[in-house]
Amino acid sequence: MHRLSNLCTRIHLALEGLHHRVVVRVADASGQTTAEYALVILGAAAIGTLLIAWATKSHAVGKLFDEVVGKILP
């Protein structure tokens, strides 16, 4: 009976340790996902900033607007 109790105790402790490791890994993974989303948003913002800077310097938006309005209102 003592051996069975000892075995049950060891199994219980092993499962508790496994549960703790799984919880820690899941928490770490969610933090990693948040960091990945943040990097994607920063990348998109950088590309948007470059696109706006290019469009402003080349007057592309104004030319496009004039062309569209010119075709709609002859």
| Length reported for the chain | 74
Q: Which two tokens stand for residue 36?
A: 């990945």
DSSP type of residue 67: H
What are the residue ranges in the chain where pLDDT is below 70? 1-2, 4, 26-30
pTM of the model: 0.47
State the total domains in the chain: 1
The SS3 call for residue 14 is helix
Instruction: For residue 21, give its domain range.
Output: 2-72
Please give the single-letter amino acid code of residue 13.
Answer: L
The rounded distance, in Å, linking the Cα atoms of 28 and 20 is 12
pLDDT tens digits, one per residue of 50-70 = 988 888 888 888 888 889 999
Question: Which residues are within 8 A (CB) of 54 and not within 5 positions of it... i.e. 6 or more apart?
Answer: 60
Please give the single-letter amino acid code of residue 48.
Answer: G
